[in-house]
Amino acid sequence: MDIISLNQYELVFNAFSFAIAVMGAATVFFFLGRSQVAPAYKTAITITGIVTLIAAYHYVRIFASWEASYAVMAGQVTATGVKFNDAYRYVDWLLTVPLLLIELILVMRLSPAETAAKGTKLGILAALMVVLGYPGEISSVPGTRWLWWALAMIPFLIIVYDLFVGLKRSIDSQPESARGLISTARWLTVVSWCFYPVVFVFPMIGFTGGAATTAVQVGYTVADIVAKAVFGVLIYMIAVRKSAADGYVSGTLGERNMAV
C-alpha cells in the first residue's frame, strides 16, 4: 500500500462516507418518487433506484476495505498489510453503468423495437468498456495500463457517438417540456464519464504514492456521485415532465383520468 498522510487518509475517508450518504438518500428518494410518475416511466425510476442502491452497498464495502488497509495512531497513518480492494468499484460499474444507459432509453419511451435495440447495444458496450478497463486498473506497468485504457476507450467513443447522433431523432420526438432535460442528461452522462478515463491515467502522468491514491479514489467517487445520483435526479425530472405532458396526475384518480 502507498504511504499516505493523515490529511489524505481523511479526505478519502470522508469522500467515501459522503458517497454512502448520497447514494442511500437518493435510493430512498427514487423509490418513493415512483408514485409521482405515470406507469410508463416507473420502470426507469425503479432502475434508477437500483443503481444508487447497488452503489450504496459497494461504497459501504469500499469504505470498510479502506479502514482495514490503514491504521491511524497518534496522528500517523500506517499500512496494515491488508490490500485495498479496488475490485469493488469494477463489480459496481459492471452492474450499474449499463443500467444508467438503459434507464435513459426507458424514460424516453421509444418504440418497443427501438428500446430493445438501443438498450441492448448500449448496455453491452458499457459492460465491455468496464471489463476492458479492469486489467489496466490492476496493473502497475504503464504500457499495460495505456493499452487497456485505449481498448476501453473504443466502446466509450461508440457510446458517445450513439448518444449524440443515434438518439438525436428520438430526442426531437420527445415532448418539448422534456427535450432540454434529456439533452442535459446526455451531456451529463458524457461529461461525468470522462472523469473515469482521466482519473485512470493519473498514475501514468506523474501522480505517485499517496497523492495518486488520494486523487484516484476521490476522483472516482465524485464521478460516481454525478453519474449516478445527479443523473438519476435528471431521469426523475424527465419522467415527471413527460408524465405531466401525458396528462398524468399522481394518485388513483390521475391514473383513471389517463385511462379515460
1 occurs within a structural domain: no
Task: With a cut of 60, say whether residue 257 has pLDDT above it.
Answer: no
Take residue 160 and report the three cell numbers written for it.
Answer: 458517445
Q: Which of 80-84, 201-205, 251-255 has the lowest mean pLDDT?
A: 251-255
pLDDT band at 96 (very low <50, low <70, confident <90, very high): very high
Report how far residue 35's alpha carbon sits from residue 252's, in angstroms, rounded to the nearest whole number: 10
Report how far residue 90's alpha carbon sits from residue 195's, in angstroms, rounded to the nearest whole number: 15
Task: With a cut of 50, say whether residue 4 has pLDDT above it.
Answer: yes
Q: Which of 84-88, 137-141, 193-197, 246-250 has the lowest mean pLDDT?
A: 246-250
**Across residues 18-43, what is the average pLDDT?**
96
Query: What pLDDT, on the 0 to 100 scale, is given for residue 43?
Result: 95
Task: With a cut of 50, say whether residue 253 has pLDDT above it.
Answer: no
Query: What pLDDT, on the 0 to 100 scale, is given for residue 1?
Result: 61
Report how far residue 214's alpha carbon sits from residue 7's, in angstroms, rounded to the nearest whole number: 10
What rounded mean pLDDT belongs to the chain? Answer: 89
Asked if 51 and 103 count as a contact pair (C-beta separation under 8 A), the reply is yes
Quote helix, strand, coil % in the chain, to nearest 5.
80, 5, 15
Helix (H) or strand (E) holding 78: strand 76-79
Task: With a cut of 60, say whether residue 141 has pLDDT above it.
Answer: yes
Task: With a cut of 90, say whether residue 42 has pLDDT above it.
Answer: yes
How many structural domains comprise the chain?
Answer: 1
**Across residues 233-247, what is the average pLDDT?**
91
**Across residues 95-115, what is the average pLDDT?**
91
Give CA separation, 12 vs 59, 63, 154, in Å: 12, 9, 30
% of the chain exceeding 70 in pLDDT: 95
Range(s) of the domain holding residue 36: 6-259
Task: With a cut of 70, say whether residue 260 has pLDDT above it.
Answer: no
Query: What pLDDT, on the 0 to 100 scale, is given for residue 194?
Result: 86
The residue among 43 and 170 whose pLDDT is bigger is 43
pLDDT tens-place string over residues 58-68? 999 999 999 99
Report how far residue 29's alpha carbon sits from residue 56's, in angstroms, rounded to the nearest whole number: 13
pLDDT tens-place string over residues 151-181? 999 999 999 888 888 777 777 778 888 888 8
Asked if 162 and 121 count as a contact pair (C-beta separation under 8 A), the reply is yes
Query: What pLDDT, on the 0 to 100 scale, is given for residue 173?
Result: 77
Report how far residue 138's alpha carbon sits from residue 244's, in angstroms, rounded to the nearest whole number: 47
101 occurs within a structural domain: yes
Task: With a cut of 90, say whether residue 55 has pLDDT above it.
Answer: yes
The CATH number of the domain where 172 resides is what? Answer: 1.20.1070.10
104 occurs within a structural domain: yes
What are the φ and ψ backbone dihedral angles of 162, each rounded to 5 degrees? Answer: -65, -35
% of the chain exceeding 90 in pLDDT: 58
Report how far residue 44's alpha carbon sits from residue 226's, in angstroms, rounded to the nearest whole number: 18
